[in-house]
């Protein structure tokens, strides 16, 4: 058997308002659900390969027992950064990863894994308001804002109501990273940077209509509202 690993940039121009008057949805949940996009592209790639090889296959995006990140690293698509993200030197770390599992071996060039190029940089470690990083490659997911707000667990010190981009936003490899060309992830800022009053007043019907194609939708309206209320309420008690 063999594995074909791929990554896809979702690095868009960020026009979110990171102030006390707005709540924010992270880049990974803006636009069409990446599981759908990557699975469609993976299927097209597999079908194209079947013109040259005979095989059966399955496409995985965050759904298999194998680690998408480690498969991508083993395929030479990037290195594992100090923040534990896969980082591609051209596209940075704002990349979705998927893989195709084949029931045969196919010819390919020799693959060389890429060594960590972060060096002693610790921007990401220091930027995390929850101190989820104890040291380089030492990550406590239970403190990660993205884990907390997706799980409906109490969190604070952030604008994010779903996901989090803080440690990636400060990464030097993302400063000049190539932006995505995939329109599925390019949406109006009003959909991911919501004024407080608008976020507080959104109904389930509005939520369903606006975010049913997004990867945040599967967590449901209750999780969305709980996070909105939590972030805005905590801000009211923060010192200016």
Which of the residues are catalytic? 62
Q: Which residues contact 29 (CB under 8 A, 6 or more apart)?
A: 162, 163, 192, 214, 215, 216
Which among 196, 162, 226, 165 is positioned nearest to 22, based on CA atoms? 196
What is the helix (H) or strand (E) element at residue 42, kind and residue range? Answer: helix 34-49
Which backbone phi and psi does 198 adopt, to 5 degrees? -70, -40
In the three-class reduction of DSSP (H, G, I as helix; E, B as strand; rest coil), residue 92 is classed as: strand
Q: How far apart are CA 72 and CA 76, in angstroms?
A: 6
DSSP conformation letters of 204-230: HHHHHHHHTTSTTGGGHHHHHHHHHHH
């Amino acid at each position: 058997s063999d594995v074909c690993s791929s990554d896809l940039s979702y690095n868009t121009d960020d026009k979110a308002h990171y102030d006390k008057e707005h709540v924010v949805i992270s880049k990974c949940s803006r636009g069409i659900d990446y599981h759908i996009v990557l699975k469609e592209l993976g299927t097209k790639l597999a079908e194209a390969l079947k013109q040259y090889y005979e095989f059966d296959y399955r496409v995985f995006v965050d759904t298999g027992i194998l680690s998408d990140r480690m498969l991508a690293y083993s395929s030479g698509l990037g290195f594992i950064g100090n923040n534990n993200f896969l980082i591609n030197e051209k596209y940075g770390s704002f990349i979705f990863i998927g893989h195709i599992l084949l029931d045969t071996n196919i010819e390919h060039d020799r693959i060389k894994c890429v060594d960590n190029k972060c060096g002693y940089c610790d921007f990401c470690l220091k930027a995390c308001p929850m101190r989820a990083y104890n040291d380089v490659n030492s990550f406590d997911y239970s403190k990660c804002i993205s884990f907390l707000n997706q799980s409906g667990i109490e969190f604070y010190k952030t604008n994010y109501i779903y996901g989090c981009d803080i440690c990636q936003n400060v990464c030097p490899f993302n400063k000049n990273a190539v932006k995505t060309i995939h329109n599925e992830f390019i949406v109006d800022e009003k959909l991911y940077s919501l004024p407080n009053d608008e976020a507080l007043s959104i109904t389930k019907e509005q939520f369903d209509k606006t975010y049913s194609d997004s990867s945040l939708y599967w967590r449901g309206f209750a999780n969305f509202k709980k996070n909105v209320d939590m972030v805005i309420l905590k801000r009211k008690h923060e010192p200016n």
